[in-house]
């Protein structure tokens, strides 16, 4: 007699991971719009960049202290796992190996984009909070990288969205809903829910992120001296 496995719902994504994902989406959209419009919105573009850096640092720490499927060691795309996935031999609940490649690629490009923005200078309406730490030519070079990387970032985001739609419509594996609810319906009776994370690791990751944001905002840089008073007219 063949036993039919009953599907059941288990915890896959913890709340901090889900918040990181959707906040990063919102901040990236806002940063792109403000960067394209320019003008007075460049001040907000800079603030959004600092917020993105904070999120990236939080995710970096959470990748070591978070719950099961949030940890980098759990989904780092090794060649063997990629080959196994392509052969249909991979089984898992978190990011599949190809999805992991997409995640790491996006994180690296977003990090480069945010870091170069700290030193950017358009000579008109915006100067990154750490631009004073590098020479003018270096700042302009980093500004050009910041602008060029936008195209690569848009390409990666487009590929990421296309992959999610492919899995949802073609493979009938909804990747979006678990990132909203945190749970996933599985048929494997031996599948185990994610464990770990918790309040203390969350606070540690949050404090590290806030500290890095403060440094990125130039909190340790001494402000320039005030301009001298105008000479008296006599």
Return the pLDDT at 1.
45
Among 1.20.950.20, 3.40.50.2300, 3.10.129.10, 1.10.10.10, name the CATH number for the domain at 8-216. Answer: 1.20.950.20
Cα–Cα distance for residue pair 39/223, rounded to 1 Å: 24
pLDDT of residue 109: 96
Q: Is 123:108 a contact under the CB 8 Å cutoff?
A: no
**Strand partners for 121:** 127
pLDDT, averaged per 10 consecutive residues of the chain (234 residues), comes to: 64 95 97 92 95 98 95 90 86 86 94 96 84 93 94 94 90 90 83 89 97 95 74 68
Angle, alpha carbons 181-160-78 (nearest 5°): 90
Packing angle, helices 136-169 and 97-118, rounded to 10: 150
The secondary structure of residue 96, as a DSSP letter, is -
Collapsed DSSP state (helix, strand, coil) of residue 77? coil
Q: In this structure, are residues 7 and 191 in contact, taking their beta carbons and an 8 Å threshold?
A: no
Q: Is residue 219 helix, strand or coil?
A: coil
> Between β-strands 8-11 and 183-186, what pairing exists: parallel, antiparallel or unpaired?
antiparallel
Rounded to two decimals, the pTM is: 0.89
Q: Can you point out the beta strands (E) in 95-232?
A: 183-186
Compute the radius of gyration of the chain from its Cα atoms: 22
What is 10-22 written as a DSSP string?
EE-S-HHHHHHHH
With beta carbons less than 8 A apart as the criterion, state whether 152 and 111 touch: no
pLDDT of 5 reads 54
What are the sequence ranges of the domains in the chain?
8-216
| C-alpha to C-alpha distance for 63 and 141, rounded to whole angstroms | 32
């Amino acid at each position: 007699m063949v036993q039919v496995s009953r599907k059941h719902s288990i915890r896959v994504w913890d709340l901090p991971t889900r918040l990181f994902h959707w906040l990063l989406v919102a901040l990236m959209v806002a940063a792109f719009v403000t960067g394209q419009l320019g003008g007075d919105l460049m001040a907000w573009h800079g603030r959004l960049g600092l917020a993105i850096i904070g999120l990236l640092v939080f995710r970096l720490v959470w990748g070591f202290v978070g719950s099961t499927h949030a940890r980098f060691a759990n989904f780092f795309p090794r060649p063997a796992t990629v080959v196994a996935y392509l052969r249909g031999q991979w089984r898992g609940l978190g990011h599949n190996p190809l999805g992991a490649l997409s995640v790491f690629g996006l994180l690296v490009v977003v990090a480069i984009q945010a870091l170069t923005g700290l030193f950017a200078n358009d000579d008109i309406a915006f100067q990154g909070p750490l631009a004073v730490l590098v020479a003018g030519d270096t700042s302009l070079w980093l500004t050009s990288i910041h602008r060029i990387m936008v195209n690569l970032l848009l390409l990666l985001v487009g590929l990421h969205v296309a992959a999610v739609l492919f899995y949802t419509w073609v493979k009938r594996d909804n990747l979006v809903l678990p990132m909203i609810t945190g749970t996933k319906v599985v048929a494997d009776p031996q599948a185990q829910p994610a464990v770990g994370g918790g309040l203390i690791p969350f606070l540690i990751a949050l404090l590290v992120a806030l500290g890095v944001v403060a440094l990125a905002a130039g909190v340790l840089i001494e402000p320039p001296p005030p301009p001298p008073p105008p000479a008296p007219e006599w």
